[in-house]
A and B are shown apart, each in its own frame.
Chain A
Amino acid sequence: MGYNSFLYLGAFLPAVLVLYQLTPEKYRKYTLLAFSWTYFFLLSRFLVLYLILTSVFVYVLGLWMGRKKEGEPPKARKTRRARLATFGVLVLFGILLVVKYSRFVAGTINSIRIAHAMKPFDILKIAVPVGISYYTLEAAGYLLEVKWKRIKPERDFVKLALFLGFFPQTMEGPIARYQDTADQLVSGKDLQSEDLRDGSVRILWGLFKKMVIADRLNTLVATFYNYHANFSGAMTLTAGIAYTLQLYMDFSGTCDIIIGSAQLFGICLPENFRQPFFSQSASEFWRRWHISLGVWLKTYVFYPVSVSGLSMRWMKFSKERFGKYISRVGEAAIALFPVWLFNGIWHGPQWNYLVYGMYYFVLLLLETILEPAKTEFYRVLGLRKDALFFRVFRTVRTLCVIVLGEMFFRADGLRTGLSMVKSIFGAPQFSMLRDGTLLHMGLDPGDFAAILLGTVIVIIYDCLREKGIRPGELLQNKSAALRWSAYYALIFAVIIFGAYGPGYQQVDMIYAGF
């Protein structure tokens, strides 16, 4: 029951809305929690126990961290809090590692054993609960916030359980911070017509991106990646661009549905995307793409590592010995490496994800290394850094970097990713783009037209957003006839041009698999 499914949008969500409104205000949080766990149960059956036990564990540990023992000196209390938080984070990530990564580790060990003519181990198959990567990060974030005394340990179990298991966030995030969403989840306020309208439009917009563009592109992308060896470098590049577009439309579209679903209840979830393809550097891209993961990594990995003893000692040592520049580069490397290692591993137990993380580590480090040279370049030549030409150049360059990264991300293994890159530079064969091969990838001219038109609409929307204009708000000032026509047009665009039904495969949400 994905967020774009008929069952979710046509039955589950309306049922929760009606029952939520019918429930007396102070009991509404129980209704939301009951439906959240039910939703999880429908997705993962008894694996919902992972979520419930995680909620109980984090709740108890949080209270324990906040407990004041009589006569305990503040320093000892701080140490106890830190130890409990470390214990909690280790347990949470330990579970994640065992559930999600044990097969990968055991498989890697087995390949080494086989290579050395040793008998492989039997590998235990462990079911992975949906959304474990997301709620584990939220739970760890909560414990660290309590440790740093930014928030008080939560005494209301329902509030904490809802924060970890609120049903629209179950499968793809966004990964929220406790202080940003927890209070809203239990406010129990009445449904508002403005929220219902804006939430519904946001859901429709998400469906448009996912069903008209992303799901349609899936046929082409899947055909290419299944038989990539048969295609030329030019086709590889085309498929790389298609996958990057698919991933954006799929993930941002699903996030629109998620944020829209929460908005129906008057709950404002953090945004996950801010026009990422307008980025002018890899670091800016990551401030605009999967923002909630970036914020989590910055808050709970980057900053703590930056102020850690190791980083401080390096700065002191390197400043005296090598000067400011080397010191800054070294500091960036120390803080960025764990962030991108974590980012790669978080996506799943595959080597290409690890390479994907390291790819961005190298790029971001290069940005730091080259920063003085770039500044000097503009200064010496007397050029304006923000001139249109340079902005366009940087945007196109960043797009190339993104597409290359996503090609590795989607590839079935590291070797496949490398062979694809090799084919782009080795044997492009642009003739394949003209000889009709594209029309044998499962899409017909009508499909390509729908993708093109849909993408143009999304680009126009993103351009407006980039200029600070909110198309939805613009529409509110227009007459009811115009507004309703726009809503109906969006609904029918999804119904008529959506890639569903005969001839199309039902496409799972891509980020739900991470």
Chain B
Amino acid sequence: MNNGKRITAFFLILLCLIFLSSGLFYRAAKKTQDPSLLRRNAVFMDLEKEPRESIDLLVLGDSESYTSISPMQVYNETGITTYVAGQSGQNMAEMYHMFETAMKTQTPKAIMIETHALIHSKGSAYDLQNMGTELAQTCFPVFSYHNLWKGRLAGESARVSAWKGFRVKSGVRACLDTKKYMKPTDHIRMVPSGNRAIFDKILKECKDKNIEVVLYSAPSPVNYSYANHNGIALLAQESGVPYLDLNLETADIGIDWLRDTMDAGDHLNISGAEKTTQYLIPFLQSLNLPDHRGQKAYAAWDHLAGKYDSQVAGMIRKIRGSNEKV
């Protein structure tokens, strides 16, 4: 064999081995429900386990998404089935992967994108790196689930979120410095071009499938400024999609930055999320999404929603009644 043929054979075998191992690791990952092994990727598996065509509203984004919109509360109030497919630090490449994963089994009628992932970037080389990593992980899941060897493969433990992607955070750490928060300015922080390109791709695919896209910014003094607002508003205007910047509405929402945040203004806790979700209800109703409450096929949602209420009510009362860490 000459060198060229030998090198080609070597890489072909390697590709086959990676492909085979990917299949094995993916199957193992689907079997396990152990979030400590899957970590950020657990939400992919949870999303795939949802019954086909059962989600009407999909929420994408980083940790700002899964700490701001509560699907169970939305269901209780409107009967809309919502899933928050958010990951901590989700970048746009990961968001696209999540979107593709959701589209395999669901056709939501609307998608809400939390905008922090859109505005956040560590530079074009980093974005390019994220895209490459994401592509490799999508094609070869062994790169995503390689840590499964660490054991407990067949363990049947809790999902990363029991509440359709939403994470109940009961801690309180007051945000004391909100002086500069959303101070009006003409400065525009543009959405980085790499992020914009991925957003445009998601938008196009949504338009093709007749899915409504909505941008929203969760209240967060740490992550948002008026310059961010200007940049995202410009993107929304150019793309023709609605944009809800909840950072401008915190007074109407009733956010108390001394109690409604778990980490000094970075993320909302359950109390802040409850207020934010409640504020969004009229908007969600205006999207004319179906009400599934009481339907036989959605009995599991009815059951879960009832359970959710009883679980979080006490936590919210405790937070609102005291300034101490719960």
Task: Please list the residues of chain A having a beta carbon within 8 angstroms of any beta carbon in chain B.
Answer: 1, 5-7, 10-11, 42-43, 193, 196, 444-447, 484, 487-488, 491-492, 495-498, 501-503
Contacts and interface: CB of A to CB of B under 8 A. Distances in A.
B278 interface: no
Nearest to A10: B132
A491 B14 contact: yes
A444 B3 CA distance: 44
B19 to A, nearest CB: 12
Given A1-B129, A484-B13, A6 B151 contact: no
A502 B39 contact: yes
B283 interface: no
Contacts of B144: 501-502
B132 A11 contact: yes
26 contacts: A1-B125, A6-B129, A7-B128, A10-B136, A42-B125, A43-B125, A193-B3, A193-B6, A445-B151, A446-B149, A446-B151, A447-B150, A488-B13, A488-B14, A492-B21, A495-B142, A495-B143, A496-B142, A498-B146, A501-B146, A501-B147, A502-B39, A502-B41, A502-B144, A503-B39, A503-B147
Candidate in A196, A445, A484 with the most chain B CB atoms within 10 angstroms? A484
A5 B143 contact: no
A191 to B, nearest CB: 10
Contacts of B38: 502
Contacts of B143: 495, 501
Nearest to A2: B129
A193 B7 contact: yes
Contacts of A43: 125
Interface string B111-151: 00000000000000100110011001100001110110111
Given A10-B136, A496-B142, 6 more contacts: A446-B150, A487-B10, A492-B17, A496-B149, A498-B146, A503-B40
Contacts of B150: 444, 446-447
B30 to A, nearest CB: 16
A467 B14 CA distance: 33
Contacts of B128: 7, 11
Q: Which 3 A-B pairs have the closest CB atoms?
A: A502-B39, A446-B150, A7-B129
B202 interface: no
Interface of B: 3, 6-7, 10, 13-14, 17-18, 21, 38-41, 125, 128-129, 132-133, 136-137, 142-144, 146-147, 149-151
B113 to A, nearest CB: 22
Nearest to B142: A495
B149 A5 contact: no
Contacts of A1: 125, 129
A256 B149 CA distance: 27
Given A5-B129, A496-B146, A502 B21 contact: no
Candidate in B38, B142, B147 with the most chain A CB atoms within 10 angstroms? B147
Nearest to B9: A484
A367 B112 CA distance: 68
Contacts of A491: 14
A447 B150 CA distance: 8
Nearest to A7: B129
A447 B125 CA distance: 30
A208 to B, nearest CB: 14
Nearest to A449: B150
A488 B9 CA distance: 13
A1 B150 CA distance: 29
A492 B17 CA distance: 9
A472 to B, nearest CB: 16
A257 to B, nearest CB: 16
Candidate in A10, A42, A445, A496 with the most chain B CB atoms within 10 angstroms? A496
A320 to B, nearest CB: 63
B62 to A, nearest CB: 14
A6 B13 contact: no
Contacts of B133: 6
Contacts of B132: 6-7, 10-11
A492 B40 CA distance: 22
Nearest to B151: A446
B87 to A, nearest CB: 9
Contacts of A444: 150
Candidate in A445, A498, A502 with the most chain B CB atoms within 10 angstroms? A502
A126 B40 CA distance: 36
A484 B12 CA distance: 12
Contacts of A11: 128, 132
B17 A488 contact: yes
Contacts of A5: 129
A190 to B, nearest CB: 12
A501 B128 CA distance: 16
A447 B38 CA distance: 15
A502 B10 contact: no
Nearest to A11: B132
